[in-house]
Amino acid sequence: MSNPKADEIKEVVLESGIRVKPVYGPGDIKDIDFEKEIGLPGEYPFTRGIHPLMYRKRPWTMRQYSGFAGAAETNKRFKWLLGQGQTALNVAFDLPSQLGLDSDDPRAEGEVGRVGMAIDTLKDMEEAFDGIPIDKISTSLTINPVASIMMAMYLVAAEKHGIPLEQVRGTTQNDILKEYIGRGTWIFPVEPSIRLIGDMVEFCSENVPKFNPFSVCGYHIRESGATPAQEMAYAFEIAIAYIEHILERGLKIDAFAGRIAFNFDIHGNLWEQVAKFRAGRRLWAKIIKEHFGATNPRSMTLRMIAGGGGGGLTIEEPENNIVRGAYYALISALSGTQTMALCSYDEAYTIPSKKAALISLRTMQILADEMGLTDTADPVAGSYYIEWLTKEIEKKIVEHMEEVKEKGGMIKAVESGYIQEQVSYQAYLYEKKIQSGEITKIAVNKYISKDEENREIEFHPYNTGAAGEQKKRLLEVKAGRNSGKVKEALAELKKAAQTKENLMPYILKAVRSYATLGEMTGIFRDVFGEFREPHSVSPAEAPLVAEGK
């Protein structure tokens, strides 16, 4: 049979801008040095994974994102998920909590408990983890500008369980630079926000060695429109900015680099995603070893949570998202992630229902226990296409990192709005390609069903009763606490914020006095001020800005 004519072969260009040939062979990887660039799992440069046996020794941690209404309701969901075989927790906070507002703040009206759990005081954190074996599981707190306060609440709750701080395991997302880029739940200006991150790293290095004080979140940058290569590049530049700040404090790279975590997104082309993570591990190892001079191999490992991204899901024919989620989980396993947090099929339009969350959990369990994904480490290694693509994506990541460096580094690039402009432009391009059909989305721009039953969706109702109970509970805590101790703790916190002291001991004291989230955040607002967003770029402006016009 003759080969198809050249003009009959569809051109394939990945989101990262890499052109893909129809066939790959030995000649495409002849310049790749196996020992230096691929190697074995668990060995530098960790292309094939950060552990020698990977999932053969222990499957990935399964950590579903969960939290809604108040602490009592969330506690029930936590226990149910753990009872179904989930192996760790990933806590969702409501929008007021993310922005440092108490539930009775007028600005919180209508949002209390809507997209996550409301946390006002230590009392809420105590109830959320009542009966949860904190000493046996790892908890991820998905919180950013007020991460220092939420971590303090979690640590004090652990103390009340009788667990020493040095035994507490967990992670706070605590990545404020990506908030300025891709989400928007910022509060304070850049400099004091990074100071808080540094305070947490310093405190954890000395007191909570098993806790990850920040997790750099390329996930939200990707969800906001960045290409896969940009996601990795911007995440690495963010991490570098944090590392440089921490090193300026006098800490050594090997004292904290091993506790840096990353959160990445998965949606889109399967092979591009797998290669993205293999390239990322290799590049990160080089950065930490060659640029920062780390000597401990653990410091060089890219430890990550990677799961399905909600941005890849559709409202149209939502059950199709179950299939998409299964492929996202497959990508995550083939990519060598340490933790998997899989999106639920209804996540395109509501917080996950119990049914949807269980399907996602079962999907991960089926992969681990039925499909052979834990049989051998990095089963895609040696593929002509995968190894070629891994190297090409690494080049793309480096190109984007160099662009950031030319702008003076990530902090200046964020303050000027440059990164936001780049992400906005990519979001614009992606949407245009969806509209034109250049990027295929089943049931959206191809194979579109006219059957209205395929468009039915079920929303998670907003629980106004739970919001009212949360406000009532807050009033009860305020009435029952020692107001003198609260005033003293807040005064000390304010005084420390005006100096260069590490704020964590003062935050912990305020938390123990049952000061509210809003009260502590208010102190920081008074001292630090608030971040002012640079000129935002509209979709119409995005192409011109990206082209330098």
Which residues make Cβ contacts (< 8 Å) with residue 15, sequence separation at least 6?
227, 228, 268, 269, 272, 430
426: its two tokens? 């990519």
Round to whole Å and give the CA distance between 252 and 334. 33
In which element (H, E) is residue 477 found? helix 464-480
Which residues make Cβ contacts (< 8 Å) with residue 541, sequence separation at least 6?
none
Domain annotation covers residue 364: yes
User: Which phi and psi (to 5°) does residue 398 adopt?
Assistant: -60, -40
Half-sphere exposure (Cβ direction) of 504: Cα atoms closer than 13 Å: 24
pLDDT at position 336, please? Answer: 96
Which residues make Cβ contacts (< 8 Å) with residue 502, sequence separation at least 6?
199, 202, 203
Round to whole Å and give the CA distance between 519 and 504. 16
pLDDT at position 119, please? Answer: 97
Which residues make Cβ contacts (< 8 Å) with residue 211, sequence separation at least 6?
151, 168, 169, 170, 171, 204, 259
Round to whole Å and give the CA distance between 64 and 139. 11
How many domains is the chain built from?
1
Query: Residue 374 to residues 89, 281, 336: CA-CA distances in angstroms?
Result: 22, 19, 10
Query: Residue 87 to residues 209, 277, 364, 392: CA-CA distances in angstroms?
Result: 21, 23, 11, 35
Per-residue pLDDT tens digits of the chain, which is 549 residues long: 445 555 578 899 999 999 999 999 999 999 999 999 999 999 999 999 999 999 999 999 998 888 888 999 999 999 999 999 999 999 999 999 999 999 999 999 999 998 899 999 999 999 999 999 988 889 999 999 999 999 999 999 999 999 999 999 999 999 999 999 988 899 999 999 999 999 999 999 999 999 999 999 999 999 999 999 999 999 999 999 999 999 999 999 999 999 999 999 999 999 999 999 999 999 999 999 999 999 999 999 999 999 888 889 999 999 999 999 999 999 999 999 999 999 999 988 887 888 999 999 999 999 999 999 999 999 999 999 999 999 999 999 999 999 999 999 999 999 999 999 999 999 999 999 999 999 999 999 999 988 766 666 677 677 788 889 999 999 999 999 999 999 999 999 999 999 999 999 999 999 999 999 999 999 999 999 999 877 555 545 545 444 444
Round to whole Å and give the CA distance between 502 and 247. 15
In which element (H, E) is residue 524 found? helix 517-528
DSSP 231-270: HHHHHHHHHHHHHHHHHHTT--HHHHGGG-EEEEEE-S-H
Round to whole Å and give the CA distance between 377 and 17. 29
Task: Report which of 496, 196, 241, 301 is spatially closest to residue 204, judged by C-alpha positions.
Answer: 196
Round to whole Å and give the CA distance between 153 and 262. 23
Round to whole Å and give the CA distance between 239 and 536. 24
Contact in structure between 204 and 213 (CB atoms under 8 Å):
yes
12 pairs with which residues across the strands? 20
Domain annotation covers residue 522: no
Residue 213 DSSP class: S
Domain annotation covers residue 464: no
Round to whole Å and give the CA distance between 168 and 534. 39
Round to whole Å and give the CA distance between 64 and 92. 10
Round to whole Å and give the CA distance between 344 and 358. 9
Sign, Cα dihedral of 32, 36, 37, 38:
positive
| CB-count exposure of residue 433 (10 Å: 0-12, 13-18, 19+) | middle
Query: Residue 457 to residues 69, 267, 346: CA-CA distances in angstroms?
Result: 21, 22, 8
Contact in structure between 336 and 373 (CB atoms under 8 Å):
no
Domain annotation covers residue 27: yes
Half-sphere exposure (Cβ direction) of 253: Cα atoms closer than 13 Å: 20
CATH of the domain at 338: 3.20.20.240
Half-sphere exposure (Cβ direction) of 122: Cα atoms closer than 13 Å: 21
Domain annotation covers residue 527: no
Contact in structure between 304 and 263 (CB atoms under 8 Å):
yes
Task: Report which of 440, 335, 340 is spatially closest to residue 389, judged by C-alpha positions.
Answer: 335
User: Which phi and psi (to 5°) does residue 82 adopt?
Assistant: -65, -35
pLDDT at position 450, please? Answer: 80
Domain annotation covers residue 502: no
Round to whole Å and give the CA distance between 530 and 180. 12
Domain annotation covers residue 504: no
Q: Tell me the H-state helices in 45-85.
A: 71-83
Contact in structure between 63 and 88 (CB atoms under 8 Å):
yes
Domain annotation covers residue 92: yes
- Structural domain span for residue 198: 19-42+61-455
Round to whole Å and give the CA distance between 172 and 178. 14
